[in-house]
A and B are shown apart, each in its own frame.
Chain A
Amino acid sequence: MAEPVTEIENAARDRHQLRTLAVAITTTSAVLCAVTVAVIYAMPLNRLWFLHFPLGFYLLAQGLLIFAIVVAFWYVRVQERIDHTRSINEEIA
């Protein structure tokens, strides 16, 4: 009887770890890619204006920081949901 329970627990654990890894990769790569693109294209973007700011300057001074805040709170929400799902699955097991 103990074996199937352990299997369910292991499956819940593996699923949790896979989802956690996916969210971590998504979150960090989204922000790092956005910064990389903004740095590479800063000079062409500066020819465009947004809210009285050159766009390249705006992205590095404000836009990417606001994006990082949004991503951080999105990550908190998603990860909490993933953790909650694991707790429920383990309780069921």
Chain B
Amino acid sequence: MVGPSRQRTPNPHLGAYYGIVASAFVSLAILLALAEQLGWSDGSIARLMMLLPLAFYLVIAGASRTLDIEDFFASGRRVPPVYNALVLAAITVGGTGFFAYTGAIFFLGFDALAIGLGWTCGLLLASVLFVPYLRRAGAYTLPAFLGQRFQSREARIAAGAMLIAPTALLLAAEMKIAAAVFAIFMPLPFWLAVLLIALFVAAAGILGGMRSLTWSGSAEFIAGAIGLAVPLIVVSVLLTHLPAPQFTYGEMFGSLQGAETAAGMSPVGPGEIVPVLPETTPLQAGKPFLQSFGTITRAGFFAIFLCIALGTAALPTLLSRSGVTCSVADQRRSTAWALALVALFAITAPSLAAFAKILMFRDMALVPTEGLPAWLSVLSQLQLAQARDVNGDGVIAAGELFVMRDGVALALPILAELPYVLTALMAAAGLAIALAATGSHLFTLGTGLAEDIYGVIDVRPIELPRLMVVWAAIAACALVAAVFLLVAEVDALRSALTAFAFAGATFFPILLLAIWWPRCTAWGALASLGTGFGILFLCLTVGGFFGIAETATGICAASLIAGVLALGAGVAASLYGPAATPSDAAYFEAMRRPDGETLFDQSQARATAAEQRANEE
């Protein structure tokens, strides 16, 4: 007997609420712009621009607090598609995309486009191949889905353990970015910024789980989009007289090439992405923006694209949001909207990098006649760029400018000599996106440990202890991530790339088999998970001694090879191991039905009805 469907009506006032959120953020920026003209200090403006939105996000998270299991893990399954898309886009791009991707385009130009293209195509793959079926299954976590699909505790525990690598790497990358921005503008020591960020995201996750993260994440995405768009549009109007940077920066390529030539940039030979861009030290921009396949080969470009696409499609944090909308159709629409938002960011990011490069090297070319530009001292103070007399001739040339990769987005308003409030706005936007992503990764990691590892071993039917285990796991993960950031040097872009590589190699093959191949069995799942994860792990650890997977292209190639082998292992173990059971086949058929209540909710309703019958008897 299947229980009646729950009424899942989204809140009809959400549009008004988020209109207020957007208006409040814009009003704050306008008020601080007025305050700047009245003589307020830069520090006060930056602090207010950061802290007031942070307090607002925390209030939203607190207002969404819940002790209800379905609200905590699946946001009540009543999130409208567009709002879920906002959070999905924030998770995909994250602070790494906002700061590190724009910086990568600044340094590599054409060659870095593989990353944005990978995110977009990855969301398309997820939308077509996985998301509707995960919504129909309705499991709260990705390992829980695999456990249900194969009726195997071992598969669930294995997936839960293997989920730690990609999610923890992304958590570290996003938390590092958020803390670095916070430390620059508050200003605070880095360790204190890390602890405050960890406290903030842990509080948001513990208060209301997925529900808090959905509603605070939507507000954070809106703030992030406004904060990115406004300074960029102002710069676009100043440089091209049109407020559409995505379509007008092509007009500036002549100026850009002139500035690059003046800075002594000439076409470079194939190298690798990450060694060219160490995050801890500022770097010279050595590659012309438009040069195709200068630092990576054509095959390397394609490997990075495919690795990020597969990793995005199978990213546990993204897929754990597959059960939050009202229906399968809504979930599909939601992923399409997320793809549109991520694509819009990926289209916008090159314009930001191109404008920053034009402004920077155009002014540097004038140094012999007009002296050092005013923005150089500001960027040096913020440790975003510095000029060094490399050749010792007593003169700073354009080619002697060293720029921090992750500081290019923050540098743009300073380079254009815009009011300081726009720099603070850009920082608040990046921080908001990084916080949304950090919170979601932390929640996925915490629930993975609590539900899929501890919960499978120690099942307790009482509601509060179950949530308390998740709270403890979230708090512990936040603490460990903070301590890790304090003792280890994390390169956000490399960490994110490795995380996508792990997700693609470990989870893409088994999800493909579990959803599209009825004969796949629990043995196949275990073989696939173990092969994909094991081979990539070996490549990244032992492979270093043999020169394998040391570079961005190497990591991505290793991930693709591990993924192919994992697919083969899954097929072989399913074919030659024990055959699929009739209940596996029944679950497979039920999962592919497009309508009705989720399979997880149906089983919960059946369990509740059986319990009631037992009590009555």
Please give, as numbers and ranges, the residues of chain A lying within 8 Å of B94 by CB-CB distance.
none
Q: How long is the Cα–Cα vector from A42 to B113 in the complex, in angstroms?
A: 12
**B227 CB to nearest chain A CB (Å):** 22
Please give, as numbers and ranges, the residues of chain A lying within 8 Å of B127 by CB-CB distance.
72, 75-76
B241: interface (CB < 8 Å): no
In the complex, are the beta carbons of B592 and A17 less than 8 A apart? yes
Please give, as numbers and ranges, the residues of chain B lying within 8 Å of A32 by CB-CB distance.
121
**A16 CB to nearest chain B CB (Å):** 8
Q: How long is the Cα–Cα vector from A12 to B226 in the complex, in angstroms?
A: 47
- Looking at the complex, which one of A28, A60, A69 makes contact with B128 (CB distance below 8 Å)? A28
Q: How long is the Cα–Cα vector from A35 to B306 in the complex, in angstroms?
A: 10
- Looking at the complex, which one of A52, A64, A73 makes contact with B253 (CB distance below 8 Å)? A52
B110: interface (CB < 8 Å): yes
Please give, as numbers and ranges, the residues of chain B lying within 8 Å of A68 by CB-CB distance.
120-121, 124, 339, 343
**A54 CB to nearest chain B CB (Å):** 6
In the complex, are the beta carbons of B595 and A83 less than 8 A apart? yes
**A46 CB to nearest chain B CB (Å):** 6
In the complex, are the beta carbons of B336 and A54 less than 8 A apart? no
Please give, as numbers and ranges, the residues of chain B lying within 8 Å of A21 by CB-CB distance.
516
**A19 CB to nearest chain B CB (Å):** 11
Determine the residue in chain A with the shortest Cβ distance to B329. Answer: A80
Give chain B interface residues in 458-496, CB to chain A under 8 Å: none
Report the count of interface residues on B (CB-CB < 8 A). Answer: 43
**A21 CB to nearest chain B CB (Å):** 8
In the complex, are the beta carbons of A69 and B343 less than 8 A apart? yes
In the complex, are the beta carbons of B124 and A27 less than 8 A apart? yes
Determine the residue in chain A with the shortest Cβ distance to B518. Answer: A17
- Looking at the complex, which one of A46, A66, A86 makes contact with B290 (CB distance below 8 Å)? A46
Determine the residue in chain A with the shortest Cβ distance to B119. Answer: A65
The residue in A40, A58, A83 that gathers the most chain B C-beta atoms within 10 A of its C-beta is A83
Q: How long is the Cα–Cα vector from A61 to B354 in the complex, in angstroms?
A: 12
In the complex, are the beta carbons of B124 and A72 less than 8 A apart? yes
Query: Which DSSP category, helix, strand, loop or mixed, fits chain B's interface?
Result: helix
Q: How long is the Cα–Cα vector from A87 to B292 in the complex, in angstroms?
A: 50
In the complex, are the beta carbons of B305 and A35 less than 8 A apart? yes
Scan A45-59; emit 1 where CB is below 8 A from any B CB, else 0. 010000111101110
Please give, as numbers and ranges, the residues of chain A lying within 8 Å of B8 by CB-CB distance.
none
B40: interface (CB < 8 Å): no
Q: How long is the Cα–Cα vector from A56 to B298 in the complex, in angstroms?
A: 13
Determine the residue in chain B with the shortest Cβ distance to A82. Answer: B594
Give chain B interface residues in 289-313, CB to chain A under 8 Å: 290, 292-293, 298, 301-302, 305
In the complex, are the beta carbons of B595 and A75 less than 8 A apart? no
Determine the residue in chain B with the shortest Cβ distance to A51. Answer: B250
Known: A51-B247, A57-B290. A73 touches B117 (CB 8 A): no
Please give, as numbers and ranges, the residues of chain B lying within 8 Å of A8 by CB-CB distance.
none
B170: interface (CB < 8 Å): no
B246: interface (CB < 8 Å): yes
Known: A51-B250, A69-B339. A56 touches B292 (CB 8 A): yes
Determine the residue in chain A with the shortest Cβ distance to B133. Answer: A20
Determine the residue in chain A with the shortest Cβ distance to B594. Answer: A83
Scan B516-546; emit 1 where CB is below 8 A from any A CB, else 0. 1000000000000000000000000000000
**A74 CB to nearest chain B CB (Å):** 9
In the complex, are the beta carbons of B343 and A66 less than 8 A apart? yes
B340: interface (CB < 8 Å): yes
Known: A35-B305, A42-B293, A43-B293. A57 touches B246 (CB 8 A): no
The residue in A24, A36, A65, A83 that gathers the most chain B C-beta atoms within 10 A of its C-beta is A65
Please give, as numbers and ranges, the residues of chain A lying within 8 Å of B292 by CB-CB distance.
42-43, 46, 56-57
Give chain B interface residues in 265-285, CB to chain A under 8 Å: none
Please give, as numbers and ranges, the residues of chain A lying within 8 Å of B246 by CB-CB distance.
62
Known: A27-B128, A39-B302, A39-B305. A65 touches B343 (CB 8 A): yes
Please give, as numbers and ranges, the residues of chain B lying within 8 Å of A72 by CB-CB distance.
123-124, 127, 335-336, 339-340
**A57 CB to nearest chain B CB (Å):** 6
In the complex, are the beta carbons of B347 and A40 less than 8 A apart? no
Please give, as numbers and ranges, the residues of chain A lying within 8 Å of B116 by CB-CB distance.
61, 65
- Looking at the complex, which one of B113, B121, B293 makes contact with A61 (CB distance below 8 Å)? B113
B350: interface (CB < 8 Å): yes
**B121 CB to nearest chain A CB (Å):** 6
B77: interface (CB < 8 Å): no
B129: interface (CB < 8 Å): yes
In the complex, are the beta carbons of A35 and B117 less than 8 A apart? yes
Please give, as numbers and ranges, the residues of chain B lying within 8 Å of A60 by CB-CB distance.
110, 113-114, 117
Q: How long is the Cα–Cα vector from A89 to B26 in the complex, in angstroms?
A: 51
Q: How long is the Cα–Cα vector from A90 to B125 in the complex, in angstroms?
A: 29
In the complex, are the beta carbons of B124 and A28 less than 8 A apart? yes
**B337 CB to nearest chain A CB (Å):** 9
Please give, as numbers and ranges, the residues of chain B lying within 8 Å of A83 by CB-CB distance.
328-329, 594-595
**A79 CB to nearest chain B CB (Å):** 6
Q: How long is the Cα–Cα vector from A61 to B253 in the complex, in angstroms?
A: 14
- Looking at the complex, which one of A42, A52, A65 makes contact with B120 (CB distance below 8 Å)? A65
**B residues at A contact (CB < 8 Å):** 110, 113-114, 116-117, 120-121, 123-125, 127-129, 132, 246-247, 250-251, 253, 290, 292-293, 298, 301-302, 305, 328-329, 332-333, 335-336, 339-340, 343, 346-347, 350, 516, 589, 592, 594-595
The 3 A-B pairs with the shortest beta carbon distances in the complex, nearest first, are A52-B250, A83-B594, A65-B343
Additional 5 contacts, C-beta under 8 A, given A27-B128, A31-B121, A58-B250: A31-B124, A53-B253, A65-B347, A72-B340, A75-B124
**A residues at B contact (CB < 8 Å):** 13, 16-17, 20-21, 23-24, 27-28, 31-32, 35-36, 39-40, 42-43, 46, 51-54, 56-58, 60-62, 64-66, 68-69, 71-73, 75-76, 79-80, 83, 86-87
26 A-B pairs whose Cβ atoms sit less than 8 Å apart in the complex: A24-B128, A24-B129, A28-B124, A35-B117, A36-B302, A43-B293, A51-B250, A52-B253, A53-B250, A54-B290, A61-B116, A61-B347, A62-B246, A64-B117, A65-B117, A65-B346, A68-B120, A68-B121, A68-B124, A72-B340, A73-B336, A75-B336, A79-B132, A83-B329, A83-B594, A87-B595
